[in-house]
Amino acid sequence: MADRRFFTLAGSFQLGQLAEMTGAILSDPSQAGAVMTDVAPLDTAEKTHLSFLDNKKYMDVFRTTKAGACFVRPELAQYAPASMVCLMHKNPYKAYAIAAQMFYPSGKPKSFQASSAVIDRSATLGADCSIEDGVIIGANVKIGNRCRIQAHAVIRNGVEIGDDCDIGPHTTITHALIGSKVRLHAGVCIGRQGFGFAIDPAGYVAVPQLGRVIIESDVEVGANTTIDRGAGPDTVIGQGTRIDNLVQIGHNVKLGKYCIIVAQVGISGSVQIGDYTMLGGQVGVAGHIKIGAGAKIAAQSGIMRDVPAGGQYMGSPAVPMKQGMRQTALLAKMATKKEVITDE
Amino acid sequence: MADRRFFTLAGSFQLGQLAEMTGAILSDPSQAGAVMTDVAPLDTAEKTHLSFLDNKKYMDVFRTTKAGACFVRPELAQYAPASMVCLMHKNPYKAYAIAAQMFYPSGKPKSFQASSAVIDRSATLGADCSIEDGVIIGANVKIGNRCRIQAHAVIRNGVEIGDDCDIGPHTTITHALIGSKVRLHAGVCIGRQGFGFAIDPAGYVAVPQLGRVIIESDVEVGANTTIDRGAGPDTVIGQGTRIDNLVQIGHNVKLGKYCIIVAQVGISGSVQIGDYTMLGGQVGVAGHIKIGAGAKIAAQSGIMRDVPAGGQYMGSPAVPMKQGMRQTALLAKMATKKEVITDE
Amino acid sequence: MADRRFFTLAGSFQLGQLAEMTGAILSDPSQAGAVMTDVAPLDTAEKTHLSFLDNKKYMDVFRTTKAGACFVRPELAQYAPASMVCLMHKNPYKAYAIAAQMFYPSGKPKSFQASSAVIDRSATLGADCSIEDGVIIGANVKIGNRCRIQAHAVIRNGVEIGDDCDIGPHTTITHALIGSKVRLHAGVCIGRQGFGFAIDPAGYVAVPQLGRVIIESDVEVGANTTIDRGAGPDTVIGQGTRIDNLVQIGHNVKLGKYCIIVAQVGISGSVQIGDYTMLGGQVGVAGHIKIGAGAKIAAQSGIMRDVPAGGQYMGSPAVPMKQGMRQTALLAKMATKKEVITDE
């Protein structure tokens, strides 16, 4: 049961409703009227709780859970405890997500404007926005409807933000155009002047960074992530892309649509990344690299050369996944054989 | 001598007092009445200064220092300059820590509430708290005694914080229960909704993150570190654990007691780490991994598989330390022998 | 053309003026009177725009650009489109930087003091400073002339800052002395008590961190970077050094002059780095290491041993560049030969 200090439960639901809303099949249709009062993880769920099984690592917990109902892949339903009703779905995690949103819907911002917010007269705010304490909004800023601008956010002159955005506390946004349904978490810095300077024996000469950051709709950016503005071209984050915490995105980067960028990734300047690409945690990408659509890069990889569309890479410097796994296995094998390499 | 603009010296101490408080043995007991006026590093210490030698890298500096007294392991005292009194201790760094706290005790917060702080009426604050400018405290927040809530900290509805905590500037705390003697440095983000969504051809479906962050007592969290709240289970940081700057801790992570997590480590979701574990800088841990108590993971390692208790690992993907060192040595050796691998 | 919402164009310039100011040679001196109205990247430049070619990856774009003029190395001018006037320069990126500063000069801060700023009476501010909303300035702080202190910056007691500095939003500065022309981007944390404690079976004993952070003149520090103060000695950042986003610099580090530290680098405590050293993105440096002047460390390297002046290193653990490249090539080659290592 989610902690009532932090979460508000919207109600109970019958299994039949839950199956219908999520597209799941009940293992026992006669239980369609059974009432679920909450969602819960397998290990703490009780009789009237709805849970999910998505990762086979948790099969043991699944076999012994007290959960009354559970989203599960059809082929695993046979391992359910006798007392459980299975909601069979080929994507149980997605089905659970939808159900959990029914139990705990995300609230709309309340129309509010804190007295300590400092809003330039030339800024325009849409309807039903919540502007919290300490927010600073510059000249000619345009903000759409139903946006939540959280405490101490700093939004500089000329920035535009669409509808239904959630701008986290302590964020800084400058030189940026942001679409709708964008969520920036705490401490995000958007639009900093990129790391651009000419190297010269007499010191470094700053190169004016004359581009912007364009964030398309439905993008999420994790806490304390930094996205630098373009040097001339723009830095672009494509629609639907999810960026985790503490990621660095350099100037001029073009990140495609629906990419997944895990925490602490670093993407150097002028990199181009296609749609639906996944970068594992702590991946680094060198400057001016192109990564094709749908590529999957394993955690901690260092991408020094272009990656073709659909490519799966690992290692630093990164190589195709199969080669990388062979290299890893080979080196391990050799290191266990003292005699293979001798001083012959 | 510490800069008087930033530090306040509490007084001078006799060597006898210092030895007694730290459990050290004086190399020359007749000097018990000698007065030390300050602590200082070996290379800048003067005649009335107390220093320490903890790392053999600094033996040369030790032999020639002007420090009047020095904490040192008993077996190294013989290398001290003739003018130095040694305070012999098996853990000279700890002894120095205690002595330095005598010279420079950490102050208690002054009872204070800035007029610009925005505190919800339903929040409860203990005695002798310092609430600085720009602080925002939400509904039903509970804060214990003698806490320092630094400038612009944002503490959301329902958060609870114990006694003697120091909450840094620009921190954001949401969905969290925090023990006593916890120190969060600047820019820390606690309780963000984790990186949780179901992947679906039509886009990503947000999974409500219904857990909390539980931080036990005596935990320290470095600047700009991010700790996401649980997805259903809680994210837990065990008692006494020390976390450095710019670390990422994903949802559902269970971090044991007295762990040391060095800067820029990334711990993926649902990882479980036992007590007294050390993760070197920039280590990455993949999702759902278990690391046993007392394990030591070298800097930059990538942990892709479970690590047994007491295990020492290195490399990416990580292998046991001995194997990793053999692999490193083997590869280096092979690369210096052009002929070993030929196109035969 | 830079977005007029964010950038202010200072005027048009004749090619002759631009060549003179930058030290470039016109490929067609008869065009010295031709007027350039703006700067632009090669791919979007138009007839009256000035561009630059610095990276051979963009030769194809160069051959077909519509830019009216372009900074380029003399030997590449022959590949220019017929309609282009080349401004030949051995360092075209530097020449472009100077020209772009002419078109888009950086503004001086307007003398301003926000009513919501909280400034201690004992602090002294120079002439023509801009102190934005939510700024907090402690006792005995000294700030020079023409500084911009951006929104919500927190500057603690005793800190000193020189002339012409730009202190970003949401920064925290404590226990620090900062030179002139220093730029700290958003979310930077300077002077945190370092990660210093003595390990003891009974827990960890905090070691008072009695040093400072010294930042010399003309240093730039990227967003959300953290620089811990010294434990006894100071942490020092040398003149002219450029530090990117999300970098961690531990206590007692001495960073030389004109170093380049790319994003997400982590430098452990007591490391000493010589002048003009370059650390690529995500490099890690172990504690107490010395890196000689002019060294170049490839991205993601892990420096576990001292590096000589001018050394070029790669890998984790890092080895000299040539050896690292041989190791990488050798391993790749072996992994493609199933038969080389057999179970003989």
pLDDT tens for residues C89-105?
A: 999 999 999 999 999 99
Phi, psi of A16 (to 5 degrees): -60, -45
**pLDDT of C279 over the 50 cut:** yes
Give the residue-averaged pLDDT of A61-78. Answer: 97
- What are the residues whose beta carbons fall under 8 Å from the beta carbon of B106, sequence distance 6 or more? C206, C208
| Whole-number Å distance between alpha carbons of B21 and B257 | 27
CA distance A201 to chain B (A): 33
| Whole-number Å distance between alpha carbons of B219 and A182 | 33
**pLDDT of A341 over the 80 cut:** no
Q: Kindly provide the ipTM of the predicted complex, given to two decimals.
A: 0.95
- What are the residues whose beta carbons fall under 8 Å from the beta carbon of A79, sequence distance 6 or more? A59, A62, A63
Give the residue-averaged pLDDT of C292-319. Answer: 98
Tell me, what DSSP letter sits at residue B217? T
Question: Is there a contact between A157 and C240 if contact means CB atoms under 8 Å apart?
Answer: no
For chain A, say whether B139 makes contact (Cβ under 8 Å): no
Question: Is there a contact between A317 and C328 if contact means CB atoms under 8 Å apart?
Answer: yes
For chain A, say whether B326 makes contact (Cβ under 8 Å): yes
Mutant choice from C116, C195, C225 vs B, greatest count of B C-beta within 10 A: C195
pLDDT tens for residues C56-86?
A: 889 999 999 999 999 999 999 999 999 999 9
Structure tokens at B335: 């690369």
Question: Is there a contact between B204 and A240 if contact means CB atoms under 8 Å apart?
Answer: yes
Question: Is there a contact between C187 and A224 if contact means CB atoms under 8 Å apart?
Answer: yes
Query: Which of residues 12 through 51 in chain A touch B, CB cutoff 8 A?
Result: 39-41, 43-44
> Which spans in B85-236 are helix H?
92-103
For chain B, say whether A2 makes contact (Cβ under 8 Å): yes
Structure tokens at C144: 């020079």
Partners of residue C93 in chain A, C-beta under 8 Å: 198, 207
Mutant choice from C225, C226, C338 vs B, greatest count of B C-beta within 10 A: C226
**pLDDT of C30 over the 70 cut:** yes
- Which of B39, B97, B134 is closest, CB to CB, to C152? B134
Return the sign of the alpha-carbon dihedral for residues B198, A9, B249, A274. positive
Residue A338 confidence (pLDDT): 55
Told to judge if A251 belongs to the known catalytic residues of this protein, a careful annotator would answer yes
Residue C338 confidence (pLDDT): 55
Question: Is there a contact between C187 and A198 if contact means CB atoms under 8 Å apart?
Answer: no
Question: Is there a contact between A330 and C332 if contact means CB atoms under 8 Å apart?
Answer: no
Give the residue-averaged pLDDT of A162-172. Answer: 98
Domains and CATH numbers, chain B: 13-103 (3.40.1390.10), 171-324 (2.160.10.10)
Partners of residue C151 in chain A, C-beta under 8 Å: 136, 154
Buried b (16+ CB within 10 A) or exposed e, A183-192: bbbbbbbbbb
Interface A-C: count of C-beta contacts within 8 A: 173
**pLDDT of C131 over the 90 cut:** yes
Residue B343 confidence (pLDDT): 40
Give the residue-averaged pLDDT of A190-216. Answer: 92
Partners of residue B172 in chain A, C-beta under 8 Å: 168-170, 186-187, 223
User: CA nearest B7 in C: which residue?
Assistant: C210
| Whole-number Å distance between alpha carbons of A6 and B211 | 9
pLDDT tens for residues A279-312?
A: 999 999 999 999 999 999 999 999 999 999 999 9
User: CA nearest C107 in A: which residue?
Assistant: A208
The overall average pLDDT reported for chain C is 95
Give the residue-averaged pLDDT of A19-35. Answer: 97
Give the residue-averaged pLDDT of A1-8. Answer: 92
Give the residue-averaged pLDDT of B282-310. Answer: 98
User: CA nearest C325 in B: which residue?
Assistant: B335
| DSSP strand pairing (A242-243 vs A260-261) | parallel
Report the candidate in B166, B192, B309 with the shortest Cα–Cα distance to residue A186: B192
For chain B, say whether A136 makes contact (Cβ under 8 Å): no
Query: Which of residues 280 through 299 in chain B touch A, CB cutoff 8 A?
Result: 282, 284, 286, 288
**pLDDT of A7 over the 50 cut:** yes
For chain A, say whether C164 makes contact (Cβ under 8 Å): no
Question: Is there a contact between A197 and C97 if contact means CB atoms under 8 Å apart?
Answer: yes
pTM for this prediction: 0.96
> Long-range contacts made by residues B296-301, C-beta under 8 angstroms, separation at least 24?
B296/B321, B298/B324, B299/B262, B299/C284, B299/C286, B299/C302, B300/A300, B300/C284, B300/C300, B300/C302, B300/C316
Among residues C49, C89, C251, C288, the one annotated as catalytic is C251
Contact B235, B221 (CB under 8 A): no
